[in-house]
Amino acid sequence: MQKLILCALCAFCFTAYTYAQNSGPPFEEMDRCGTTENDERLKAVYPGYRINRENIERFIRENQHLREVIDGITIIPVVFHVIHDGDAIGTNENLPESLILAQLDQLNDDFRRTNSDAGNTPADFTGIAADVEVEFCLAQVDPDGNPATGINRINISSLSGVDLADCWDDDYIDANIKIPTIWNSANYLNIWTVVKIQRSSNCANTILGYAQFPGGPANTDGVVLRATTVGSIANPNPNGGDFALGRTGTHEVGHYLNLIHIWGDGDCTVDDEVADTPLAGDDNTTGSPCTYPGPNSCDEGAGDLPDMFMNYMDYSDDECMNMFSNGQKTRMLLTLLFARTDLVNAPCAPECPENRVLSGTLDGTYWAGNSITTSGATTIPSTNDVILEAAGTVTLSSGFSTTGNAGLYIGFVNCASSPLTIPDSSLMHGLDAQIPEGLERLQHESRNSGRDMKKWFLQEMLRQTNDQVELPPEETRRIQRNFRNQ
């Protein structure tokens, strides 16, 4: 099932590029993804992991309504650990910065549906093709609070026990490469690029990438990519063959945000826990020219559609992939809400776009690079949750009001270009004086991890819209993310 079987065109593809040193076997023999095997291994080793996975699934199933409170763009800080064996920077697996930036671009394009090949999505699926509203930035601060580039080059000679002659399967990479190099996985998406990833079963050097689903051990959390897959449509990896456009990264980050394969890793009786993706009986390894319709592996009766082989979570060639679905988007956003809460408390360089003046009825998230001010009659109705996040000041003017069980969160995020100082007592007192009717007390949290970040928030911000839902206290911390408004 994992094996990629390509078409007769491969004879052409095979001669169209040359391999770098250590780049592995011919691409028609590659395994698209090792995530499922890694998942099975972790379930066998860590009993708690299986329970975590079940809890996350239950949360997603029972809290679809919370999708509504996630508004605006979520920005995830990324660190690329470029693992090499002494090659000059930009050579072989010691990837040039240009390819790493290209991969970051492709992630952003694919998750925001600004990918240049979005027009290839078949009409059957354009209605559900999603702007996931998640973006990625290179981490600007390391876990010790020092300025960083988000690119961390590591010579394996500095890693004890790592040898290119060893079998680099998921277990080996986790233990010998990830654990010694990881940045706190609660706060960063760690992506390791490596020269080879080998199958556990026979050490074949064929796996393009693998991810760890949420709920696993913190010290191995992240995504591993074969170095030859790192690139983009605009800047393909010269050694990547059919997998040069960065879609391995998109696929694996999809797993990292809890997506499972489009065919649910099973036959037509097993789905992918996403309602708007058609059932599929197995993976598709569709290659050029990516003709739609392709296979239709399961008959779902009325309204049946062919397989969505162009979904990032199938096994098609990079050039045939071009979409996530709305259902996949919901699954990823709810995962961020429940299982990757602190990830988005990001030491990225925040953008600093503007001052904002709000009035009328508020709902959702409002972000401003400098200040947010309300003007005249401004209301949060009892059914709404509102997040005001600014790099400067937030001022609730005299016409501001709330009704009933409205939720309000006010946060401040430092902006790299305009260092933030908040006069604690004065601002707290200023806000204290303005706590509107129907809202509970303000809490103050101060964080200093490389930048000033001070947040005030109201308890019970997450209004309980469903009495059966018991969110753990940490859920209020979902707000510690880099929100910005569209």
- Furthest C-alpha separation in the chain: 73
Q: How far apart, in whole angstroms, are the C-alpha atoms of residue 270 and residue 249?
A: 25
Instruction: Closer to Ca ion by CB, 180 or 266: give it.
Output: 266
Instruction: Closer to Ca ion by CB, 259 or 274: give it.
Output: 274
Contact (CB, 8 A) for 422 and 394: no
Instruction: Closer to Zn ion by CB, 255 or 451: give it.
Output: 255
Min dist. Cβ of residue 296 to Ca ion (A):
5
Instruction: Closer to Zn ion by CB, 39 or 109: give it.
Output: 39
**35 touches Zn ion (CB under 5 A):** yes
Report the partner that residue 62 touches, choosing among Ca ion, Zn ion, none (CB closer than 5 to 8 A by kind).
none
Report the partner that residue 266 touches, choosing among Zn ion, Ca ion, none (CB closer than 5 to 8 A by kind).
Ca ion
List C-alpha distances in Å: 30 to 21, 46, 264, 278, 287.
17, 28, 20, 26, 13
Q: How far apart, in whole angstroms, are the C-alpha atoms of residue 232 and residue 226?
A: 14
Interface residue list for Ca ion (CB under 5 A): 85, 87, 92, 263-264, 266, 270-272, 274, 277-278, 296, 298, 304
Q: Which residue is nearest to Ca ion (CB)?
A: 277
Neighbours of 26 (CB within 10 A): 13
Give Cβ neighbours of residue 303 (< 8 Å, ≥ 6 apart). Answer: none
Report the partner that residue 304 touches, choosing among Ca ion, Zn ion, none (CB closer than 5 to 8 A by kind).
Ca ion
Number of residues that bind Zn ion (CB under 5 A): 2
Instruction: Closer to Ca ion by CB, 266 or 436: give it.
Output: 266
Nearest in space to 479 (alpha carbons), one of 95, 42, 66, 50: 66
**33 touches Zn ion (CB under 5 A):** yes
Min dist. Cβ of residue 300 to Zn ion (A):
23
Active site residue 97: no
Neighbours of 1 (CB within 10 A): 11
Contact (CB, 8 A) for 223 and 55: no
Instruction: Closer to Zn ion by CB, 35 or 63: give it.
Output: 35
Q: Which residue is nearest to Zn ion (CB)?
A: 33
Among residues 28, 93, 252, 351, which one is catalytic?
Answer: 252
Contact (CB, 8 A) for 335 and 60: yes
Report the partner that residue 35 touches, choosing among Ca ion, Zn ion, none (CB closer than 5 to 8 A by kind).
Zn ion
Contact (CB, 8 A) for 449 and 141: yes
Rg of the chain taking only CA atoms, in angstroms: 23
Report the partner that residue 130 touches, choosing among Zn ion, Ca ion, none (CB closer than 5 to 8 A by kind).
none
Q: How far apart, in whole angstroms, are the C-alpha atoms of residue 182 and residue 187?
A: 11
Min dist. Cβ of residue 382 to Zn ion (A):
43
Min dist. Cβ of residue 444 to Ca ion (A):
44
Only segment of 25-33, 104-112, 234-242, 262-270 that touches Zn ion (CB under 5 A): 25-33
Chain residues binding Zn ion by CB under 5 A are 33, 35
**Which residues are catalytically annotated?**
252
